[in-house]
């Protein structure tokens, strides 16, 4: 089994020669499917089933009698080896490979250079399912599930869209507008009429919608979406819908590949990395991009790691959009503090140890030094520092200077919720050494407070925590 995955294609076989080697039931089934695709089918075998003989008499296929010879392949675009003799099938596959003709050996993925998928047929809509020969039964089960999902009228709907394609293209020249129009039509009342078999009514409804779409001057919009910390399972359903409807997606570097993979295939993906220190120029650049795409009538998704309103500058972007009259929506995301806490088994609040939690940004020296350290050093609370890897020494110094105990548990969570997550546990007074010793890198989050020690026993995700073994936190006397 090749390690790489198969490249799916749909082949146009009308009028093209296809050789089927074999004359039995299996060959017959393959021939029937090829005839439906309009192929010029040649069947080679020493003997033929009754149906194959019949089809040859009707002039629908061509028979070649005898033992396999490589010359059978002459002029063929595809070959299917469907004999009951594996040596013959192997010879057919070898000859096809020499001629560079795609060959499928029935039930033999190893010898095949292409696979025939299980198919859900709503022609012209066709859904193909394949496991690359790894588990044909699974492919069939999936096909059955999809069969139930797809209404039989979808074929008629696809045919209707095809009949109107040129007209729609002529009247809605802009690709984005056309796409939005079709999305509406294919899910709205036009589809409903088709489902009821009322094709003529569906066509007039389509004409009405098209006239309305021509007149409307569509205004674009921006959805500010929180992508969560990495694990795509933590994206909200609403966020997923926005990704599916987007024409353009402007995303940060923090957004994981898994989340981006959920975006609509033909959405334009633009990475807008913001380097530390050059925030201002690039933030203006991001504003300009948002404006440009929204003004062109596109649906823009501004996708940010975690939550857009937690250290994400989402507020600034919305203020800008509002000043320019662009409509917007906000979809929250799971912020790094919540995700890192959950995925490292560190409850941010706990009846025995912490009654409040603070999210703090520590991205530069000046912002660190101006924090209210007196309040931050208070007991019975949990602190979560974002962007803190470079500032650990100062965080420790400030907290110790304001009375927080050196033995206070801390946790560093790197790449929280991702498969490469690492958690380092330790005590506040050794914080910078811990980070250096384990080479903690960005993106990482710092959690300070008694609850951090619980990560030693409640961890459940990924690798076990690193760092010295901490004593379990003492429960408060009842």
Which residues are the active-site residues? 252, 274
* Residue whose CB is less far from ligand SAH, 131 or 283: 283
For 34, 37, 119, 145, 159, the CA distances from 13, given in Å and listed in that order, are 8, 6, 16, 28, 20
Interaction between residue 229 and ligand SAH (CB under 6 A): yes
Separation CA 367–CA 361 (nearest Å):
8
Interaction between residue 259 and ligand SAH (CB under 6 A): no
Interaction between residue 44 and ligand SAH (CB under 6 A): no
Site string for ligand SAH, 178-217 (x = CB under 6 A): ----------------------------------------
By CB under 6 A, which span of 192-200, 269-277, 307-315, 394-402 interacts with ligand SAH? Answer: 307-315
Dihedral of the CA atoms 169, 171, 174, 177 (nearest 10)?
-100
Per the annotation, does 191 bind a ligand? no
Among 443, 449, 455, 467, interactor with ligand SAH by CB under 6 A: 443
CB of 350 to ligand SAH, least distance (A): 21
Among 310, 331, 447, 448, interactor with ligand SAH by CB under 6 A: 310
Interaction between residue 286 and ligand SAH (CB under 6 A): no
Task: Give the end-to-end CA distance of the chain in Å, rounded to a whole number.
Answer: 62
Interaction between residue 382 and ligand SAH (CB under 6 A): no
By CB under 6 A, which span of 190-198, 289-297, 300-308, 432-440 interacts with ligand SAH? Answer: 300-308
Interaction between residue 445 and ligand SAH (CB under 6 A): yes
* Residue whose CB is less far from ligand SAH, 129 or 413: 413
Among 336, 368, 451, 470, interactor with ligand SAH by CB under 6 A: 336
CB of 312 to ligand SAH, least distance (A): 3
Among 105, 340, 357, 392, interactor with ligand SAH by CB under 6 A: 340
Per the annotation, does 1 bind a ligand? no
Per the annotation, does 124 bind a ligand? no
Residues that bind ligand SAH (CB under 6 A): 229-230, 254, 304-307, 310-312, 335-336, 340, 386-387, 413, 415-418, 442-445
Residues annotated in a binding site for S-adenosyl-L-methionine: 229, 305-307, 310, 335-336, 387, 416
């Amino acid at each position: 089994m090749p390690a790489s995955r198969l490249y799916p294609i749909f082949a146009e076989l009308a009028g093209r020669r296809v050789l089927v080697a074999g004359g039995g039931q299996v060959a017959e089934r393959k021939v029937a499917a090829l005839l439906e695709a309009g192929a010029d089918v040649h069947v080679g075998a020493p003997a033929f089933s009754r149906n194959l003989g019949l089809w040859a008499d009707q002039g629908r296929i061509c028979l070649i009698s005898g033992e396999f010879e490589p010359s059978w392949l002459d002029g063929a675009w595809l070959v299917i080896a469907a004999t009951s003799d594996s040596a013959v099938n192997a010879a057919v596959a070898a000859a096809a490979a020499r001629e560079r003709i795609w060959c499928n050996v029935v039930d033999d993925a190893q010898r095949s250079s292409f696979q025939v998928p299980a198919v859900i047929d709503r022609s012209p809509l066709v859904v193909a399912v394949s496991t690359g020969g790894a588990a044909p039964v699974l492919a069939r089960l999936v096909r059955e599930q999809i069969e139930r999902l797809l209404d039989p009228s979808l074929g008629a709907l696809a045919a209707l869209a095809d009949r109107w394609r040129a007209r729609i293209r002529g009247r809605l020249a802009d690709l984005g507008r056309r796409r939005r129009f079709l999305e509406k039509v294919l899910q709205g009342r036009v589809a409903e009429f088709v489902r009821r078999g009322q094709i003529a009514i569906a066509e007039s409804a389509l004409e009405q919608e098209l006239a309305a779409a021509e007149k409307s001057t569509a205004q674009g919009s921006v959805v500010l979406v929180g992508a969560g910390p990495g694990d795509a399972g933590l994206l909200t359903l609403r966020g997923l819908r926005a990704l599916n409807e987007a024409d353009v997606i402007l995303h940060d570097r923090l957004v994981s590949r898994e989340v981006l993979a959920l975006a609509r295939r033909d959405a334009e993906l633009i990475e807008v990395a913001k380097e530390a220190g050059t925030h201002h120029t690039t933030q203006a650049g991001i504003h300009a991009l948002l404006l440009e795409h929204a003004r062109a009538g596109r649906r823009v998704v501004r996708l940010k790691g975690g939550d857009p309103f937690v250290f994400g500058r989402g507020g600034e972007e919305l203020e800008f959009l509002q000043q320019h009259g662009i409509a917007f929506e906000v979809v929250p995301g799971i912020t790094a503090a919540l995700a890192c806490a959950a995925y490292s088994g560190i409850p941010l609040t706990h009846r025995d140890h912490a009654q409040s939690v603070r999210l703090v940004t520590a991205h530069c020296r000046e912002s660190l030094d101006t924090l209210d350290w007196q309040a931050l050093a208070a007991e019975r609370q949990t602190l979560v520092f974002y962007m803190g890897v470079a500032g650990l020494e100062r965080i420790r110094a400030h907290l110790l200077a304001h009375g927080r105990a050196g033995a206070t548990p801390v946790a560093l969570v790197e790449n929280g919720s991702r498969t490469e997550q690492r958690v380092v546990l330790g005590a506040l007074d050794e914080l910078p050494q811990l980070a250096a010793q384990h080479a903690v890198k960005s993106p990482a989050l710092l959690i300070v407070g008694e609850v951090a020690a619980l990560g030693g026993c409640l961890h459940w995700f990924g690798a076990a925590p690193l760092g010295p073994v901490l004593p379990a936190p003492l429960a408060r006397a009842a």
